[in-house]
Chains A and B, each alone.
Chain A
Amino acid sequence: TQLLEQSPQFLSIQEGENLTVYCNSSSVFSSLQWYRQEPGEGPVLLVTVVTGGEVKKLKRLTFQFGDARKDSSLHITAAQPGDTGLYLCAGGDAGNNRKLIWGLGTSLAVNP
């Protein structure tokens, strides 16, 4: 059974700090998606990475896909209260392109 472990599970930081969230597995994924979910809303896609070693930047957010396509990280620079939310990673099953494996999420609180 494929699993995606996210760490840390909870993170509470002050505005302006940097942070990194990790998404790890022992399985290879065809792609890796990152979503952010705010209270009372559905997850919203932030980025999709598909190539091993790929780095994508979205303003203050930097996403990296591991060389072996088994892990990914999300780094936020100078976090703001608006970054608060649940960050979810989801990996595309390399053997079954219809299957998506979800992590348990990282709940981030950025305090002003």
Chain B
Amino acid sequence: DTAVSQTPKYLVTQMGNDKSIKCEQNLGHDTMYWYKQDSKKFLKIMFSYNNKELIINETVPNRFSPKSPDKAHLNLHINSLELGDSAVYFCASSQDRRQFPLHFGNGTRLTVT
């Protein structure tokens, strides 16, 4: 019954590896997001998709590539992981593109060693 679910919850990997995080929402929302929360708890938007169309693409390294196979799913693939990528990544959804309000998943804690 979880509204926004993301997997895995924890991800520990070495520098240079490639990893993916998956997200699914069962709220029937049109818009999905990836946010990054750093060690100081600041939330920064990375990407947003509305009905499978990329609508927000903030200044994020090309190593990060989102993919939305349908409006209920948004995945994040990260190539050549770096130490600085360590953070908590949150998936979120909203009824429409106004981010009003946001429903968040429980996060994926990525640790790059």
The answer to whether the Cβ of A107 comes within 8 Å of any Cβ in the partner chain is: yes
The answer to whether the Cβ of A59 comes within 8 Å of any Cβ in the partner chain is: no
Query: DSSP majority for the A interface?
Result: strand
The 8 closest A-B pairs by CB, nearest first: A42-B104, A45-B101, A100-B99, A102-B43, A105-B41, A97-B98, A41-B106, A42-B106
Chain B interfacial residues counted at CB < 8 A: 23
The answer to whether the Cβ of A31 comes within 8 Å of any Cβ in the partner chain is: yes
Which of chain B's residues have a CB closer than 8 A to the CB of A100? 45, 99, 102
> Cβ of B41 and Cβ of A104 under 8 Å apart?
yes
Q: Which residues in chain B, 58-107, are within 8 Å of chain A measured between CB atoms?
A: 90, 92, 97-107
Alpha-carbon distance between A92 and B90 when the two chains are bound, in angstroms: 19
- What range describes how many residues of A lie at the interface? 20 to 34
Would you mind naming 14 contact pairs between A and B with Cβ atoms under 8 Å apart?
A: A31-B100, A35-B102, A40-B107, A42-B4, A42-B90, A43-B43, A90-B102, A92-B98, A97-B98, A99-B99, A100-B99, A104-B42, A105-B42, A107-B41
Nearest B residue to A34 via CB reads B101
Which of chain A's residues have a CB closer than 8 A to the CB of B92? 42
A4 shortest CB reach to chain B, Å: 11
Nearest B residue to A86 via CB reads B41
Alpha-carbon distance between A14 and B104 when the two chains are bound, in angstroms: 29
> Cβ of A40 and Cβ of B100 under 8 Å apart?
no
The answer to whether the Cβ of B56 comes within 8 Å of any Cβ in the partner chain is: yes
Tell which of B40, B41, B44 has the most Cβ of chain A within 10 Å.
Answer: B41
> Cβ of A43 and Cβ of B102 under 8 Å apart?
yes
B9 shortest CB reach to chain A, Å: 8
Given A86-B41, A107-B41, residue A42 in contact with residue B107 (CB < 8 A): yes
The answer to whether the Cβ of A74 comes within 8 Å of any Cβ in the partner chain is: no
Alpha-carbon distance between A40 and B108 when the two chains are bound, in angstroms: 9
Alpha-carbon distance between A70 and B92 when the two chains are bound, in angstroms: 25
